[in-house]
Amino acid sequence: MARVLDEDEPIEHWTLIGDELDLLAGRTGPSKLGLALWLKFFTVEGRFPAGRAELPDEAVGHVASQVKVPASDLGLFDWEGRTAERHRKTVRTFLGFRECSVADAEKLTARKRSAAGNAGPSGSVRRCCRSCAENGSSSPAGSGSAG
């Protein structure tokens, strides 16, 4: 379930700027809105949303007004088909990430196991996320639709 945003968050974290707007050129309707929301969600959360419920209503409204697509069009967005795959690839490429490979997941698992005894689960998770970012890969399984 999406959290409620504070008053400044839609503008601070969900405003499309510069090249982000260029990325949306030529797209229309639900596809344009969905891609814009996935882009901003990924920059805020480091992963893709698992579904509409993870997107704060305030963010949807703010982004919809920027891309001039009714927020209600998000209900028509394809969350799992070929368009969704292309959108995930577009966002990863734009932000300088790549899909997590089996080798990446194995490295993270090994690091997580070695770190679990040292810093507890929260420190381990932070280190794994930092490792993904350092390697330019999106988070492995359990991270929304990162794969």
- Does residue 114 lie in a domain region? yes
Q: What is the spatial distance between Cα 38 and Cα 97, in angstroms, rounded to a whole number?
A: 14
> Is 48 among the domain residues?
yes
Q: Say whether pLDDT at 10 is over 80.
A: no
Number of domains in the chain: 2
Report if residue 145 sits inside a domain.
yes
pLDDT tens digits, 97-124: 888 888 888 888 888 888 766 555 555 5
- CB hemisphere CA count around 76 (13 angstroms): 11
In the chain, the amino acid numbered 17 is I
Domain that holds residue 32: 9-95
Question: Worst-scoring range by mean pLDDT, 17-31, 32-46, 47-61, 115-129?
Answer: 115-129
DSSP 3-state of 95: helix
> The pTM is what?
0.70
Closest of 50, 27, 25, 22 to residue 38, by C-alpha: 50
CA dist list (Å): 25 to 11, 110, 142: 21, 41, 31
4 falls within a domain:
no
Is the residue at 26 inside a domain?
yes
Residue 2 falls inside a structural domain: no
- Identify the H or E element spanning 93: helix 82-95
Say yes or no: 62 and 126 in one domain: no
Return the amino acid letter for 58: E
Is 72 found in the same domain as 131?
no
86 and 121 belong to one structural domain: no
Same domain membership, residue 134 and residue 69: no
For the chain, give the longest Cα–Cα distance.
50
